[in-house]
Amino acid sequence: MDLSKLNPPQREAVVTLQGPLLVLAGAGSGKTRVITHRIVHLLNERPDHILARNILAVTFTNKAASEMKERLVHMAGPRAQGVLVCTFHAFGAEMLREDIHRLGWPKKFAIADMGDQLAIIRRAMRDHRIDDRAFDARKVLGLISKAKNSGQAPEPKPEGIGDDYDLITHMVYPDYQLALKAQGSVDFDDLLILPTRLLREHSDLYLKYTHRFRYLLVDEFQDTNLAQLELLKLMAGQSKNVCAVGDDDQCIYSWRGAEVRNILHFDHFFPGGKEVRLEQNYRSVQMVLDAANAVIAKNPERKAKQMWTDRKGGPKVKVVACPNDEEEARFVAHEIQKHISLGVPADDIAVLYRTNGQSHPIEEMLREKNIAYEVVGGSEFFDRREVKDVIAYFKVIVNRLDEISLMRIINVPSRGIGDVTVERLHAHSRAEGVTLWTVMRKASEYDDLPPGAGAKVHEFVDLIERYRAAYEAGQLAVATRKLLEEIGFRDATRAHATSATSADKKLKGVDGVIDSLERFEKREGPKASLLTYLNRLSLDNKQEDDEDVPGSNRRVTLMTIHSSKGLEYRLVFFIGMEEDLMPHGGMQGEAQNLEEERRLCYVGITRAKELLYLTRAVTRVKRGKEVPRTPSRFLEDLPEDVIEHVTPDAPRQGPPTTEEKNFFANLKERFKKPQPGTPGGGGVPPGGRAG
Ligand SMILES: Nc1ncnc2c1ncn2[C@@H]1O[C@H](COP(=O)(O)OP(=O)(O)OP(=O)(O)O)[C@@H](O)[C@H]1O
Ligand SMILES: [Mg+2]
């Protein structure tokens, strides 16, 4: 590898291989690049004779992980395949797959999704005679998760402190944990907590894992939470070869438990290491960088950073006030169309927003103009009822203890196992203290079931057992087609749909599952199993990146700022620059966490390489009424000499000006797509994760 592709501090970070190392630096300074180069350097230098499998790199999303892996293979060849690149949660799942039985779970555990979790909580609430309509199970789940992530069981608050929810959470929590374990499941937070327990409580496993993973690298360290830090501290073992990179100004997940202290006090958790600062920004032109610096400078209590770029000048940041939200969308779509016609690849353009709902008007306009786009994380695909039903079949097939899924499908499509039968079966299961499945297997022994019900239950049990064997023999997509055919799933779906179009949509969902299974089998090869598919699905879903949603790569990307972490695009439209949206918060009142909103604004701005649009609507339709909007306070922080005020009608709506044509002709020359294999970082998908 050519170390001359790095600046001196980057090089220092890449070649310092022993002991803790922190790279704390602003956006676009090459932190992610340091990680990839450092891995390649490790593969070349082989300190302690390590192999690829001794390296673990942790990224923030599954998408970032697969992109980093691809890049590594591109840089270092097939030997990089052995490096484990994944998220903390995926790593935890990997460890549990090997050793969870040491904590008393079945080896084939399942990862509960939100639906499963809520069902368990609601049941526990009912058991405690708490009205699950008066109290929101989601809120209880949120509190449980928060407690688990901060490493504590929910405690009852002292008299007078805390509200009903604290009390409910405290009551429900033990039941929730027991129910999960009883059905052989773990929740998302357990993927961090249980591996930590494994390492703490079993010294042989501590030796096994710390010996296997001797070089650890973590990207986006500013957004790690306490549970992740605990796991990392243990995994660091005695040698503490931990390289963490991040930017305290980009901590945007504190609402989900991220602790910026982890990065600010890195030397406390990993003493005796080195700290490297990177100051050159390679991503953005001067105008964009100036805008970003001006916004973030207003945050108190940050580690001040000096960022500079040698990409002087560039076009000014365009600040656009549109009459209303529809016009904002029209303007954005129009500009996108113009830039595409000027030769900017669609996948080098992104539209960023604070909240998911903001994408709809933009989507409509893009569709109208026939511009291909992709909404990251916006797909409700796996929330569709039919899709959930099919997934529930999978879950029961791999784990018959999963009673929540079992209940979902026991009579779907309808097979004559009615409520009375189900109730009686439950009663027997409780009375005998055995699982529902055990009771179902001997259903014909009970004489209190409605006539014929026993036989129907047996048929169902037989169906599940037969398909269990079929799936174990491989060919997941084939088995699924057969299963759906046998139970008449499509016909039933069609019969229940209110119209032909709605039926089509539902069936498309079913096809989508089969397609995604097929892609999964292709990716994983012979080791593809239904269980790993399901676990992969829960991880991906939680992560909100839709690797499994079909799409070509020449598309405009629409996403929230939260999803845009680490990415870069030549053209960025940051929409909805208004109070209440950016910063997001109560009407006119103070945003709940203004500093974090400012960091979000900084993250959004710093995604742009060449050209940044900050758009806002003067009025917005809310619940059928047109409401006046106040410009975002962050706009006021931008120095006048880096911005240009643009009015959305003439001349912007017209054909490109000569000045624009020249500018983009120039850009085209400067940013010709590198061919794979050419120096200078070929192989990075444009608009993909960089570094
Ligand atoms: N020494 C360098 N020479 C040329 N280009 C570089 C250099 N370092 C980084 N880059 C480029 O600068 C861009 C930003 O790098 P990278 O994504 O690694 O930054 P980052 O610090 O991880 O940003 P973020 O904080 O947004 O995650 C990438 O396109 C990368 O290839
Ligand atoms: Mg990065």
The three-state (H, E, C) secondary structure of 372-433, written as one string: CEEECCCCCHHHCHHHHHHHHHHHHHHCCCCHHHHHHHCCCCCCCCCHHHHHHHHHHHHHHC
Section 673-681 average pLDDT: 34
Atom of ligand 1 nearest to the CA of 27: 25
Distance 219 CA to ligand 2 centre (A): 7
- pLDDT in the model for residue 679: 32
Distance 474 CA to ligand 2 centre (A): 38
- pLDDT in the model for residue 144: 92
Cis (ω within 30 of 0) for the bond into 651?
A: yes
- pLDDT in the model for residue 540: 65
Atom of ligand 1 nearest to the CA of 7: 1
Q: By alpha-carbon position, which residue is closest to atom 9 of ligand 1?
A: 30
Name residues contacting ligand 1 (CB within 6 A): 5-7, 10, 27-33, 247, 250, 282-283, 566, 568, 606, 681, 690-691
Residue 379: is its pLDDT beyond 50?
A: yes
Atom of ligand 1 nearest to the CA of 689: 17
Q: CA-CA distance, 685 to 128, in Å (whole number)?
A: 53
Please give the residue that has the higher pLDDT: either 234 or 167.
Answer: 234
- Residue 602: which region, alpha, beta or left (left: phi > 0; alpha: psi -120 to 50)? alpha
Strand partners, 20: none
- Residue 557: which region, alpha, beta or left (left: phi > 0; alpha: psi -120 to 50)? beta
Q: CA-CA distance, 503 to 663, in Å (whole number)?
A: 49
Average model confidence (pLDDT) across the chain: 87
| CA dihedral sign, ordered 89, 90, 93, 94 | negative
With contact defined as beta carbons under 8 Å apart, do 406 and 396 qualify? yes
Residue 235: is its pLDDT beyond 90?
A: yes
- pLDDT in the model for residue 537: 79
Please give the residue that has the higher pLDDT: either 546 or 454.
Answer: 454
Q: CA-CA distance, 634 to 644, in Å (whole number)?
A: 15
3-state secondary structure 589-615: CCCCCHHHHHHHHHHHHCCEEEEEEEE
Distance 649 CA to ligand 1 centre (A): 36
Distance 34 CA to ligand 1 centre (A): 8
Query: Which of 3, 23, 33 is the pocket-test mutation for ligand 1 (most atoms within 8 Å of CB)?
Result: 33
- pLDDT in the model for residue 615: 98
- Residue 25: which region, alpha, beta or left (left: phi > 0; alpha: psi -120 to 50)? beta
Section 401-427 average pLDDT: 92
Section 196-203 average pLDDT: 96
Section 340-366 average pLDDT: 93
- pLDDT in the model for residue 164: 84
* Per-residue pLDDT tens digits for 432-444: 989 999 999 999 9
Residue 357: is its pLDDT beyond 50?
A: yes
- Residue 257: which region, alpha, beta or left (left: phi > 0; alpha: psi -120 to 50)? left
Please give the residue that has the higher pLDDT: either 687 or 487.
Answer: 487
Section 202-229 average pLDDT: 96
Ligand whose nearest atom lies closest to the CA of 28: 1
Ligand whose nearest atom lies closest to the CA of 599: 1
Q: By alpha-carbon position, which residue is closest to atom 23 of ligand 1?
A: 28
* pLDDT tier at 161, thresholds 50, 70, 90: low
Residue indicated by tokens 């290491």: 273
* pLDDT tier at 65, thresholds 50, 70, 90: very high
Query: Which of 11, 72, 282 is the pocket-test mutation for ligand 1 (most atoms within 8 Å of CB)?
Result: 282
Distance 29 CA to ligand 1 centre (A): 5
Ligand whose nearest atom lies closest to the CA of 690: 1
Atom of ligand 1 nearest to the CA of 282: 12
Please give the residue that has the higher pLDDT: either 153 or 684.
Answer: 153
Query: Which of 1, 32, 684 is the pocket-test mutation for ligand 1 (most atoms within 8 Å of CB)?
Result: 32
- pLDDT in the model for residue 152: 72
Distance 46 CA to ligand 1 centre (A): 25
Atom of ligand 1 nearest to the CA of 607: 26
The answer to whether 64 is a known ligand-binding residue is no
What phi, psi does 255 have (nearest 5°)?
A: -65, -20
Atom of ligand 1 nearest to the CA of 34: 18
Residue 617: is its pLDDT beyond 60?
A: yes
Residue 653: is its pLDDT beyond 70?
A: no
The answer to whether 421 is a known ligand-binding residue is no
* Per-residue pLDDT tens digits for 380-391: 666 678 888 999
- Provide the b/e sequence for 298-311 (b: ≥16 CB within 10 Å): beeebeebebebeb
> Among 213-217, 277-281, 584-588, which stretch is predicted with the lowest mean pLDDT?
584-588
Residue 680: is its pLDDT beyond 60?
A: no
Section 34-39 average pLDDT: 97
Ligand whose nearest atom lies closest to the CA of 34: 1
The answer to whether 19 is a known ligand-binding residue is no
The answer to whether 28 is a known ligand-binding residue is yes
Section 96-113 average pLDDT: 92
- pLDDT in the model for residue 683: 29
CA–CA distance from 623 to each of 575, 618, 620, 626 (Å)? Answer: 20, 16, 10, 8
Please give the residue that has the higher pLDDT: either 86 or 162.
Answer: 86
Section 184-193 average pLDDT: 93
- pLDDT in the model for residue 279: 93
Q: CA-CA distance, 215 to 376, in Å (whole number)?
A: 32
Ligand whose nearest atom lies closest to the CA of 603: 1
Q: By alpha-carbon position, which residue is closest to atom 31 of ligand 1?
A: 691
Residue 2: is its pLDDT beyond 90?
A: no
- pLDDT in the model for residue 236: 97
Distance 569 CA to ligand 2 centre (A): 13
- Residue 298: which region, alpha, beta or left (left: phi > 0; alpha: psi -120 to 50)? alpha
The answer to whether 31 is a known ligand-binding residue is yes
DSSP class of 689 = B
Q: CA-CA distance, 607 to 253, in Å (whole number)?
A: 17
Q: How far apart are the first and last CA of the chain?
A: 15
Q: CA-CA distance, 317 to 610, in Å (whole number)?
A: 9
Atom of ligand 1 nearest to the CA of 220: 27
Q: Strand pairing of 625-628 and 608-622? A: antiparallel
- pLDDT in the model for residue 661: 61
Q: By alpha-carbon position, which residue is closest to atom 15 of ligand 1?
A: 30
Q: What number of other Cβ atoms are within 10 A of residue 184's Cβ?
A: 19
- pLDDT in the model for residue 22: 97
* Per-residue pLDDT tens digits for 541-600: 554 434 444 444 589 999 999 999 999 999 999 999 999 999 997 544 455 589 999 999
The answer to whether 452 is a known ligand-binding residue is no
Distance 165 CA to ligand 1 centre (A): 45
> Among 62-71, 231-240, 377-386, 481-490, which stretch is predicted with the lowest mean pLDDT?
377-386
**Burial (Cβ within 10 Å: 0-12, 13-18, ≥19) of residue 58:** buried
Query: Which of 59, 223, 283 is the pocket-test mutation for ligand 1 (most atoms within 8 Å of CB)?
Result: 283
Section 228-254 average pLDDT: 95
- pLDDT in the model for residue 417: 94
The answer to whether 32 is a known ligand-binding residue is yes
* Per-residue pLDDT tens digits for 284-320: 999 999 999 999 999 987 888 888 999 987 899 999 9
Please give the residue that has the higher pLDDT: either 312 or 659.
Answer: 312
What phi, psi does 685 have (nearest 5°)?
A: -60, 135
- pLDDT in the model for residue 663: 58
Residue type, 669: E
Residue 238: is its pLDDT beyond 50?
A: yes
- pLDDT in the model for residue 538: 76
- pLDDT in the model for residue 608: 97
Cis (ω within 30 of 0) for the bond into 655?
A: no
* Per-residue pLDDT tens digits for 326-335: 999 999 999 9
With contact defined as beta carbons under 8 Å apart, do 104 and 71 qualify? no
Q: By alpha-carbon position, which residue is closest to atom 8 of ligand 1?
A: 30
The answer to whether 65 is a known ligand-binding residue is no
Listed in sequence order, the residues at least 6 apart from 570 whose beta carbon sits closer than 8 Å to its beta carbon are 344, 348, 349, 608, 609, 610, 611, 667, 671, 686, 687
Give catalytic residues, as residue numbers: 31-32, 219-220, 250, 607
CA nearest 573: which of 405, 361, 426, 420?
A: 361
Distance 307 CA to ligand 2 centre (A): 15
- Residue 544: which region, alpha, beta or left (left: phi > 0; alpha: psi -120 to 50)? left
- What was the ipTM of the complex prediction? 0.99
